[in-house]
Structure 1
Amino acid sequence: MKIREIIVVEGKDDTQNVKRSVEADTLETNGSAVNEDTLVRIRHAQEKRGVIIFTDPDHPGQRIRNIVSQAVPGCKHAFMPRHEAKAKHDKGLGVEHASPEAIREALSHVYSMSEIENSDITQEDLVEYGLVGGATSKALREQLGERLKIGYTNGKQLYKRLTMFQITREEFVDAMEEILNEEGK
């Protein structure tokens, strides 16, 4: 699998694992303190070939994603479920621990974000499907994020993520119905 865009990752180990899995070029942020020089390189990459942000499914990874997205409009995003990014023998979590199959899967479902004013998904839908305010809300959001390939988010950010990735109400309802049916609810 060859990727045209340049993939933004957190570090050298991520680069090595991505390059073992796909034919691609990467840029490393070297952690969550993304400096201006790195942002200049990412902007240049976006202008020339496009950029896919592919960070770890944790808080620092989300922080990097937010910094780069705000500084470099138009980036695409790839997400990996947490269970695909866990190290086998230690407590590590990240792209560097994922299997080549998991990396290819994440990079085959890339999203462009856009700020759209009117989503046909409502906050009431999130409550109705138990995605906020319930004992199982976190687990449901994890499953939804994995199913829709938009990554995990907390309850406050879920609506924004669904809107930014232009998830339709039909896609949302279908995914939630599948999740709930699998759980026997």
Structure 2
Amino acid sequence: MIVVEGKEDTAAIRRAVEADTIETGGSAIGEAVLKRIELAQERRGVIVLTDPDSPGERIRKIVAERVPACKHAFLLKDEARGKDGIGVEHASDEAIIRALERVRGGVPSPAEGAGAAPEIEWSDLLGAGLIVHASASRRRERMGELLGIGYANGKQFFKRCVSFRITRQEFLHALEQLEREGI
């Protein structure tokens, strides 16, 4: 099941892939919708694919707090940009498929190493210029694209690195690319 914001997002998903969706009805996500997402996670699994904007991130955060085992897919802002805004409904079929291919897992189960120490530390973000740096915001945006975890502020970016179990190797590879691009 793919969690999206509205009907137009559902149409875009169904145009790109064969999948069922749960629509949140926007950022005022209600208890009934959250219960449906919990049930869907228990029975089928859930992927959250919201707009790459502030309301979309708010929905993602609400769902992730309530259903921590859900998975996340992220569209790049440029892939979701339309003439009247940014949203899943504006993304091409190919962009949606790419986002779903790069899906990231939520909270790991004990068998997957839930108690394992994270590979990325706050100091890694500092050293990479992803926080407390003149270009930190742009660098985080591009790193989020390269890692497939979307854009976030420094604190949220760190949380995503930990919760999506970004490996040191993935992080360093993305950082090398970032440096090659001169960002």
- Fold agreement, TM-score > 0.5: yes
Q: C-alpha distance in 2, partners of 1:47/1:154?
A: 30
Confirm whether residue 40 of structure 1 aligns to residue 35 of structure 2: yes
Range with greater deviation from structure 2 (112-121 or 12-21): 112-121
Match of 1:176 in 2: 175
Check the 8 A contact 1:116/1:163 in 2, yes or no: no
Secondary structure of the structure 2 residue equivalent to 1:153: coil
Match of 1:113 in 2: 106
Check the 8 A contact 1:8/1:29 in 2, yes or no: yes
Instruction: Please report how far the alpha carbon of residue 135 of structure 1 lies from its aligned counterpart in structure 2 after TM superposition.
Output: 1.7
Change (3 A) 1:100 1:174: same
Aligned residue pair count: 177
Change (3 A) 1:117 1:59: farther
Check the 8 A contact 1:79/1:151 in 2, yes or no: yes
Give unpaired runs (5+ residues) of structure 2: 108-113
TM (norm. structure 1) is 0.91
Instruction: Please report how far the alpha carbon of residue 116 of structure 1 lies from its aligned counterpart in structure 2 after TM superposition.
Output: 5.2
Change (3 A) 1:146 1:30: same
Q: CA-to-partner distance for each residue in 1:92-129, whole Å, 9 max, x for gaps?
A: 11101111110000011111122656223222221111
Match of 1:142 in 2: 141
Identity %, equivalent residues: 53
Match of 1:25 in 2: 20
Match of 2:162 in 1: 163
Q: C-alpha distance in 2, partners of 1:164/1:74?
A: 10
Secondary structure of the structure 1 residue equivalent to 2:130: coil
TM (norm. structure 2) is 0.92
Q: Which letter does structure 2 place at the counterpart of 1:54?
A: L
Runs of 4+ aligned structure 1 residues displaced above 3 Å come to none
Change (3 A) 1:154 1:23: same
Range with greater deviation from structure 2 (143-152 or 43-52): 43-52
Instruction: Please report how far the alpha carbon of residue 73 of structure 1 lies from its aligned counterpart in structure 2 after TM superposition.
Output: 3.1
Match of 1:3 in 2: none
Q: C-alpha distance in 1, partners of 2:116/2:158?
A: 12
Q: Which letter does structure 1 place at the counterpart of 2:25?
A: N
Q: C-alpha distance in 2, partners of 1:96/1:160?
A: 27
For residues 19-98 of structure 1, the aligned pairs below 5 Å read 19-87=14-82, 89-90=83-84, 92-98=85-91
CA RMSD of aligned residues (A): 1.4
